[in-house]
Amino acid sequence: MKKGLNLGDGHCVQLLQGTVELFPALIRAIDEARVAIQLETYIFDLTGAGADVAEALVHAAQRGVHTCVLVDGFGTAPLPPAWAERFQTAGVQYRVYSPLGPLGLLLPQRWQRLHRKLCVVDRQVLFCGGINVLDDFYDPNYGALEAPRFDFAVQASGRLASQASDAMEKVWRRIQAVSEIRHHHLSSALRSLRAASVASAAQRAGRKAASGMRAALVLRDNLRDRTRIEKSYLRAVGLAREEIIIANAYFVPGRKLRRALVLAAQRGVRVRLLLQGRYEYFMQYHAARPVYGALLAAGVEIHEYAPSFLHAKVAVMDAQTSRPWATVGSSNLDPLSLLLAREANVVIEDAGFAQDLRQRLVQAMDRAGRLLDPASYALRPWRQRALDWAAFGIMRTALWVAGKSY
């Protein structure tokens, strides 16, 4: 049997759906911060509710909290001048991960993006998921949305927060070195917090042992942790005995994961996928369709979500058994996430959490999902098939150029 993740005990993990649940909790934690705030996001957009998060960061920095924001150089547009000035005046340290430069994405090394969405406050509270700093009723490409984006995050305490803090600090220090900017205040603050957290670790663990959850932070990078998220999915799918539900925005799984899902369905596991049903981007929309055939033939149910953009990257398996498994994070099941981007997921083994997530996903499938009919899929128009295979071919060619196998 494959070695599993080292899930720690004593965590408290709360499921949050959409910015309507995440942003109030995030702003509350930022408002209560005393020493340090670390925030990473792919998209940092100040339209609508996104400005509320930015406002909280400004207030935190003004009262002396070391506030560091790292955004992706492709996902995030340049800050509006007024906000850039406010951040600088307040002391918010704002950095850009891998700016594109004059050649943009023509260089394959620029395909390695910062896609994770993390925020750690005082090394004690962690927010992790698929939700950017972006209003759920607004899209940078499509404008105002009639229905909110469908997405999830978690708020966690316990060792997960300090682990995320350490990982984020490593990336931050690398960005500082590359840009030749010296700021030692954050590292000093975090060292102090580490000492305090070590001194009280036993006390915290004792308080939470009775009711805490088993959870782990699973990171993906391009060094040592290149396959951890994919392996966590493969192991969970392989162990599932009754039910698998996956909701994923950009779903182009590799050969191993496709085969694992087919085998699960063939051994009697009910496998349901909630996938993007609304056109957003050419590549992500069309490249996903060619992989549907084998899954549908094996009995996998595919539900397409169309009221708004589906942006979730979550899964729950065997929620109603003695061995529940769930994950919430930033990683799509596609080559960009599994082979190129920095990603972060939280894996939880807890009956209450798994059942909560399952209920929300089943409700979305029942109320807003369109069940894909295998016969209709097989008879889709030739033009759509051509676009699907063209996108899939472009994706495979791009992976070959990048030296990746999938």
Assign 3-class secondary structure to 133-167: ECCCCEECCCEECCCCCECEEEEEECHHHHHHHHH
Residues 321 and 199 occupy one common structural domain: no
Same domain, yes or no, for 367 and 244? yes
CATH of the domain at 314: 3.30.870.10
- 134: alpha, beta or left, given left = phi > 0 and alpha = psi -120 to 50? beta
The answer to whether residue 94 is domain-embedded is: yes
What are 294's two structure tokens? 């084998």
- Could you say which of 208, 223, 248 is where a domain stops? 208
C-alpha distances in angstroms, 86 versus 70, 75, 120, 185? 16, 21, 22, 20
User: Which DSSP string corresponds to 26-91?
Assistant: HHHHHHH-SSEEEEEES-B--STTHHHHHHHHHHHHHTT-EEEEEEETTTSPPPPHHHHHHHHHHT
Q: Which residues contact 294 (CB under 8 A, 6 or more apart)?
A: 258, 262
Task: Look at residues 166, 186, 208 and tell me which one is the last residue of a structural domain.
Answer: 208
For residue 192, the enclosing domain spans 10-208
Task: Tell me the two tokens of residue 287.
Answer: 């490249």
Q: Clarify whether residues 263 and 203 are in a common domain.
A: no
Q: Do 233 and 189 reside in the same domain of the chain?
A: no
Reported pTM? 0.91
State in Å, rounded, how far the first CA of the chain is from the last one.
23
d(CA 58, CA 39): 13
> Final residue of a domain: which of 161, 193, 208?
208
Cα dihedral 157→163→168→174 (10° resolution): 170
φ, ψ at 272 (rounded to 5°): -125, 130
**Residue among 160, 159, 239 nearest 201 (CA):** 159
Q: Same domain for 203 and 240?
A: no
State the total domains in the chain: 2
Strands 36-41, 117-121: pairing is antiparallel
In a domain, 320, yes or no: yes
Contact (Cβ atoms closer than 8 angstroms) between residue 338 and residue 220: yes
pLDDT in tens, the chain (406 residues): 344 566 767 779 999 999 999 999 999 999 999 999 999 999 999 999 999 999 999 999 999 999 999 999 999 999 999 999 999 999 999 999 999 988 888 888 889 999 999 999 999 999 999 999 999 999 999 999 999 999 999 999 989 999 999 999 999 998 887 655 445 556 666 665 665 554 343 334 333 433 568 999 999 998 889 999 999 999 999 999 999 999 999 999 999 999 999 999 999 999 999 999 999 999 999 999 999 999 999 999 999 999 999 999 999 999 999 999 999 999 999 999 999 999 999 999 999 999 999 999 999 999 999 999 999 999 999 999 999 999 999 999 998 988 888 8
The DSSP secondary-structure symbol of 106 reads: G
Residues 153 and 227 grouped into a single domain: no
What SS3 state is found at 118? strand
Altogether, the residues listed in the chain come to a count of 406
Three-state DSSP class for residue 363: helix
My answer on whether 70 and 204 are in the same domain is yes
CA distance 75 to 81: 18
Helix axes 185-199, 201-208, angle to 10 degrees: 60
198 and 325 fall within a common domain: no
Query: Which residues belong to the active site?
Result: 115, 117, 122, 311, 313, 318
- Verify that 145 and 278 share a domain, yes or no: no
Give the separation between CA 325 and CA 95, rounded to whole angstroms. Answer: 35
CA atoms within 13 A on the CB side of 376: 5
User: Does residue 121 lie within any of the structural domains?
Assistant: yes
Q: Are 35 and 66 in contact (CB under 8 A)?
A: yes
H or E element in which residue 10 lies: strand 8-17
Do both 347 and 385 map to the same domain? Answer: yes
| Residue 63 in domain | yes
Determine the pLDDT at residue 383: 95
Residue 4 within a domain? no
Residues in contact with 193: Cβ distance below 8 Å, sequence separation at least 6, in sequence order: 35, 36, 122, 123, 165
Residues 195 and 50 in one domain: yes
- Same domain (yes/no): 167, 304: no
Is 323 domain-assigned?
yes
36 inside domain: yes
Structural domain includes residue 2:
no
Both structure tokens of 238: 């392989």
